[in-house]
Amino acid sequence: MEKDPECISYLTQQQAVEIDALLMGPSGFSIDQLMELAGLSVASAIAEVYRSTEYNRVLVICGPGNNGGDGLVAARHLHHFGYKPYICYPKRTPKPLYTGLVTQLESLSVPFLPVEGLPQELSNDFDILVDAIFGFSFNGMPRPPFDGLIYGLLSARKHDQTFQRSPVIVSVDIPSGWHVEKGAVNSEGITPEMLVSLTAPKLCAKMFCGPHHFLGGRFVPPSIVDKFKLQLPPYPGTSMCVRIGKPSQADVQAQISLKNVEKHGEADPFVQFQKWFDDAVAAGLKEPNSMALSTASKDGKPSSRMVQLKGIHGEGFVWCSNYGSRKAQEISENPHASLLFYWSGLNRQVRVEGFVQKVSDEESEQYFRSRPREIQIGPAVSEQSNVIPGRQFLHQKYKEIEEKYSDGSMIPRPEHWGGYRLIPEYFEFWQGDESQVHLRLSYVAEEIDGKISWRRTVK
């Protein structure tokens, strides 16, 4: 058995098989119990990192074995945690344990989607893809339809320049298609953002470089710990999972000494922004696209609030909002505004100042359509910045709209909801340093012969 510098044991396939046999033999566990605990650990880890309000639509892809069963249990818990799970379970196992789980999910109206019913592009329809296809006992090459499903997971991770999120992939115990001990051999292999190792991580988990590695296995009895000399981390509080492995943040931090920023600061501030944004994503920071938007009224009185960056399109930073809100009023009186990103885990701040315009109706429509259906109802309900008779009024309005479109018909975009774009005139990238000698990289837009160029200064 190997230990890593953090002193966590990594199991070979043989050890994982032996531990499973001991759990279900002398240790007195039934397979149902272990599956419940595994599925609950997976759902808990997902809920710890991905909020259901933002990552609501979860596709759980289940294989024919125990790993698939863990996925079914996780889906049931996710439903109760407020997510909207969908299941793809193409090779159902006709044993009571599995048929029972299917019945439980059906009784919650969790949809089961056939492989041929899955959308071409998983990235458009789901926020989280749970890979519960193959576990540690799998050997060999994946066969249809699982080879195609794994390919679907591979291509769902397209990272574009739009900040439109691709779905995150969460693998249960082993990223499917990986070798249990050697990791992703031969082919590219899927690259999940989250791996939830069960009982103890398997050797392949050493090759996992995503931002979120969790362990779920708060049930291993001392007899097994002693027999295998397992080194396992303590679980916090009453949690069913514990974060393990170094967050990739540490690697990013190592690369970003002040000298590096100074030397490698890009000539184009948009490229510089993209780099830092990618670092924030890679570091697994929560909501890296959240930014404080400051506006001011015509008499210069400022106000700030958080909004979410939808993307950088047409040379500007786009967010969506209610056109009847206070910020909208202020922008209409005074188009000058400022955005502020703060990525605390990286000790970085980015300031972007410029002027704001509304985006076209077509563009707003695109943003609206890219939102999950449940979230499309929000703008229709919202009375942003207007006084309402009470929260009950909003709940009532939400229910009315939900019922009106319960047949699945298209929810129209409310006229008062749309995008804004801030066209930058000034950027400032701030890198904090323990020595308190911080670095500021600023870019001022200058118009030369009708073309914008950026003057860069380091302070």
To the question of whether residue 173 is assigned a binding role by annotation, the answer is yes
Q: Which is nearer to ligand FMN, 145 or 324 (CB)?
A: 324
Site for ligand FMN in 355-384 (CB under 6 A): 384
Residues in 272-301 at the binding interface with ligand FMN, rule: CB under 6 A: 287, 290
Q: How far is the CB of 300 from ligand FMN (least distance, A)?
A: 16
321, 334, 349, 376: residue in contact with ligand FMN (rule CB under 6 A): 321
Among 305, 369, 399, 438, binds ligand FMN (CB under 6 A): 305
Q: Which of 218, 327, 351, 413 binds ligand FMN (CB under 6 A)?
A: 327
> Rounded to a whole number, what is the largest CA-CA distance in the chain?
81
Residue with tokens 């291509």: 155
Q: Is 325 in the site for ligand FMN (CB under 6 A)?
A: yes
378 labeled binding residue: no
Selected range binding ligand FMN among 49-57, 173-181, 319-327, 430-438, rule: CB under 6 A: 319-327
Q: How far is the CB of 289 from ligand FMN (least distance, A)?
A: 9
Using the minimum distance from each CB to ligand FMN, give the nearer residue, 235 or 342: 342
Q: Is 4 annotated as a binding residue?
A: no
Dist. CA 203–CA 197, nearest whole Å: 10
Could you tell me which stretch among 74-82, 85-93, 131-139, 305-313 binds ligand FMN (CB under 6 A)? 305-313
Tell me the two tokens of residue 79: 């439903």
308 forms part of the interface with ligand FMN (CB under 6 A): yes
| Residue 165 sits in the site that holds ligand FMN (CB under 6 A) | no
Per-residue binder mask for ligand FMN (CB under 6 A), 381-400, x = binder: ---xx---------------
- For ligand FMN, which is the closer residue by CB, 306 or 458? 306
Angle, alpha carbons 177-179-184 (nearest 5°): 70
Select the span of 81-89, 321-329, 346-354, 425-433 touching ligand FMN (CB under 6 A): 321-329
Q: Minimum CB separation from ligand FMN for residue 181, in Å?
A: 41
Q: Is 135 annotated as a binding residue?
A: yes
Let me know: does 284 contact 321? Beta carbons within 8 Å: no
Pairing of strands 128-132, 168-172: parallel
Pick the stretch among 131-139, 217-225, 315-323, 351-359 that binds ligand FMN (CB under 6 A): 315-323
Q: Applying CB under 6 A, does 55 fall inside the site for ligand FMN?
A: no
Tell me how far, at minimum, the Cβ of 419 lies from ligand FMN, in Å: 10
Given the rule CB under 6 A, which of 203-211, 324-332, 402-410, 429-437 is the region that contacts ligand FMN? 324-332
How many whole angstroms separate alpha carbon 331 and alpha carbon 340? 17
**Residue 136, annotated as binding a ligand:** yes
* CB nearer ligand FMN, residue 22 or residue 296: 296
Query: How many chain residues touch ligand FMN (CB under 6 A)?
Result: 16
Our finding on whether 103 is near ligand FMN (CB under 6 A) is no
What's the rounded Cα separation, in Å, for the pair 162 and 375?
Answer: 20
- Contact between 306 and ligand FMN per CB under 6 A: yes
**The binder of ligand FMN chosen from 322, 349, 431, 442 (CB under 6 A):** 322
> What CA–CA distances, in Å, run from 192 to 150, 152, 177, 411?
11, 13, 12, 33
Q: Please say whether the beta carbons of 310 and 163 come within 8 A.
A: yes
Instruction: Please give the residues from 217 up to 276 whose contact with ligand FMN meets the rule CB under 6 A.
Output: none
- Which of 185, 152, 172 has its CA nearest to residue 45? 172
440 interacts with ligand FMN by CB under 6 A: no
By the rule CB under 6 A, 326 interacts with ligand FMN: yes
Closest contact distance (angstroms) between CB of 394 and ligand FMN is: 14
284 is in an annotated binding site: no
**Which residues contact ligand FMN (rule: CB under 6 A)?**
287, 290, 303, 305-308, 319-322, 325-327, 384-385
Binding-site residues from annotation: 66-70, 131, 135-141, 173, 176
